[in-house]
Structures are given as structure tokens and as C-alpha cells.
Amino acid sequence: MIIKQDLAPVLPGKNCFGRMNKKKSLVIHQTGNAARGANAQMHATYQINNTKYKDPREASWHYTVDDKETIQSFAHDVICYHASDGSGDGNMHGIAIEGCINADGNYVKSVDNMAKLAAKVLKDEKISIMNMKQHYDFARDKKNCPAQIRAGKDGIDWAKFVQMVQGYINEKPVVAGAKVEKPKTDKQLADEVIKGIHGTGAERKAKLGNRYDAVQKLVDDMLKPKPKPVPKPKPVAPNKEVSRSYEETGTFYPNTTIIVQDAPITSATIVARYYKGEHVKYHTVHLKNGYVWLQYKRANGQQAYIPCRTYSNGKYGPLWGTIK
Ligand SMILES: [Zn+2]
């Protein structure tokens, strides 16, 4: 809330007791002046001019609130004349708010503004809401004030008013800048440009301002046709020779000692040996696992495999003997 300050002169003995207010309570008043124009400004101006009059009224208070504004006339440490209790607690240690009831104002709004101000003063001065008092509390025999609230005008009685003030005390302060939107990223702006939101040419330049260069560069990059990646030829793994087998009959005469295994793979079980001068009749050829294997049937009926040369990447090594 915005509080306008229109401070009145502090003249102890004329319009106040001085500056030793201990701020123990907040005292709520209503002006009692229902005349049109009897608003906050009128009352604040009155307080400024009061001491210039020949017979100044011994009356002063800290704030006046109407349906449109809040005006402060005295700092909180000034001891004003408002509670009708002489040098009692109301005057000496109270901060006073006058609520306007002018006929040309919105009464409910005026009371609502007073509740907001009351909440702020209670919070700022760390005064308990239990110590928000009616003027009446300090002058029961002579002052029915705040009269309209005490009468429950427009459905707002004292209990309701206290509730309104408590509501404003409970409100979390709005963090400055909390609702400020984050600036859009270049990528977000670029997406919008591509959707056509920022127009073209000079219009786009104007709308994007100092973001234009970065965003336009991004847009250009995003719209650039992307070359299709050239598929890389799969490297041929040297050990992953495509193996193949075919039927062929023949006789192999090794010229060196060769081990025979029960499968065409070097890790298989050794089942026999052939020596130089011996021969073996085979029926099938396997090109796999680094060798050319000749498959034959052993005397015991089992199938066996004898390598006769290396075979790798389609290349044959020298034959370890002769084939007929
Ligand atoms: Zn009063």
C-alpha cells in the first residue's frame, strides 16, 4: 500500500505531547464527519493548518484513511491528542488512525483501507493485534468511537474489522520481481520466428530488437537443409571370415605332422594325428576359423576334421602336403 506523507508540524503543547511515544497500542477512530469532501486530504490539511488558527483544537492523530488514499500526518514517535484520556495510555503510547465516513466516499472500501493500514502498522511496530483498541476503550464515558464500526454499519462490526486486519497481517508480502517473466531464450524466439509469430524482414528486426542477430543466426541454422550422413562402409573384421563348406572328395597326403580334431575349430578335442607319408580320404571341405578343414569319417565311425592350410580374408596359405 502507498502511504502519502503530508506531515504536520510537531509543536509540543499545541498539537502534541512531544516525541516519546512508546507505541504500545493502535487506536482506531472514525472521523464522525459524514460531510461530502470530508476525506483524508481534507483532514490531513486541517492538521497542517490547525496550529495557525487563533484557537487551535487540541486534536491530532497519525493517519487518516479514506476510500482512495492513506495520508500520514505524524511520525509514530509523536504523542498525539486523540484518545480523550489526557496523559493516559491511549494518548501517550498509542498510534492513531482515523477512518473517513464522508458521504461521497465508498464506506466499505474506506474501512478496508483502514484494515490494511492497521495491519501494516501492527506489523511494522510489532504491536499485538490484542492491542489494537477502539477510541472507546480509553474514554468509555464520553466517546462512541469508531461509531460506525461499533454499530456494525454495512455488516462490519468490531469483530469483523479485527478479522479483516488479521487477514492482512497473514498475507505474505509480495516478493519484488516474483512475477517478472524470465526472458525468452534464443531457441524459444527462434521457434517463434519459424512459426511466423515475429513476421519477416524489417518487422522481425523491429520485434526482436537487440536479440535479432543471435535469433536470426539460430533460425538460419535450424532451417539449413541437413546433409544426409553418408553411410560408412562397415569395416570387415579380419577374424569374421564368412565361413563356408562344400562337398568334395579327395585324398590328402600331409608332408608334416597334423593334429585331427572332432570339430573344425582349433579349440576342439584332439582325436588323432596324421604324419608325413600317411593319407586321409575326405568327403567335405570347410573354410572356417582360419583354416581349410577336410572332413572325413574315422574307422570308428566318428566324423573328424584335419586342417590342410591356413585360410584368412579369402587368402589361402601354402598346402601342408598334396591333394589327389
Ligand atoms: Zn475517536
Max alpha carbon distance in the chain (Å)?
Answer: 149
CB atoms under 10 Å from CB of 219, counted, come to 19
The predicted-structure confidence for 205-254, as pLDDT tens digits, reads as follows 988 988 999 999 999 998 888 777 666 666 555 555 578 999 999 999 99
Residue 233 confidence (pLDDT)? 63
Question: Which residues make beta-bridge pairs with 294?
Answer: 285, 306
Q: Kindly state the percentage of the chain with pLDDT values over 70.
A: 93
Tell how far the Cα of 132 is from the centroid of ligand 1, in angstroms.
Answer: 13
Q: How far apart are CA 256 and CA 254, in angstroms?
A: 5
Beta pairing, strands 291-297 & 244-254: unpaired
Q: How remote is the CA of residue 217 from the centroid of ligand 1, in Å? A: 69
- Centre of ligand 1 to C-alpha 107, Å, is 17
pLDDT, tens only, 167-205: 999 987 655 555 556 788 999 999 999 988 888 888 899
Q: How far is the CA of 126 from the centre of ligand 1 (A)?
A: 23
Distance from Cα 146 to the centre of ligand 1, integer Å:
6
Nearest of 83, 107, 121 to residue 33 by alpha carbon? 107
pLDDT at 176: 55
- CB–CB of 324/250 below 8 Å? yes
Residue 308: half-sphere exposure toward Cβ, Cα within 13 Å = 24
pLDDT at residue 241 in the model: 58
Structural domains in the chain, CATH included, are 3-170 (3.40.80.10), 186-223 (no CATH), 244-323 (2.30.30.40)
Distance 52 CA to ligand 1 centre (A): 23
Average pLDDT over residues 293-311: 94
Q: How far is the CA of 31 from the centre of ligand 1 (A)?
A: 7
**How many angstroms is it from 1 CA to the middle of ligand 1?**
23
Ligand 1 centre distance from Cα of residue 145 (Å): 5
138 C-alpha to ligand 1 centroid (Å) = 10
Q: How far is the CA of 73 from the centre of ligand 1 (A)?
A: 16
Q: Which tens digit of pLDDT belongs to each residue from 38-64?
A: 999 999 999 999 988 877 788 999 999
- Other CB atoms within 10 Å distance of the CB of residue 70: 21
The Cα 69–Cα 76 span in angstroms is 19
Any alpha helices (H) in the chain, and if so which ranges? Answer: 40-50, 89-93, 107-124, 135-138, 147-150, 158-170, 186-195, 201-208, 212-223
N- to C-terminal Cα separation, the chain: 112
Ligand 1 centre from 139 Cα, in Å? Answer: 9
pLDDT of residue 237: 53
Instruction: Please give the pLDDT value at position 56.
Output: 79
- Classify residue 187 by burial, with Cβ atoms within 10 Å: 0-12, 13-18, 19+: exposed
| Main-chain phi, psi angles of 212, to 5 degrees | -55, -55
Determine the distance separating the centroid of ligand 1 and the alpha carbon of 111, expressed in angstroms: 14
- What mean pLDDT, rounded, does the chain reach? 91
Question: What's the rounded Cα separation, in Å, for the pair 78 and 17?
Answer: 7
So what's the pLDDT on residue 180?
53
How far is ligand 1, taken at its centre, from the CA of residue 255, in Å? 130
Q: How far is the CA of 144 from the centre of ligand 1 (A)?
A: 8
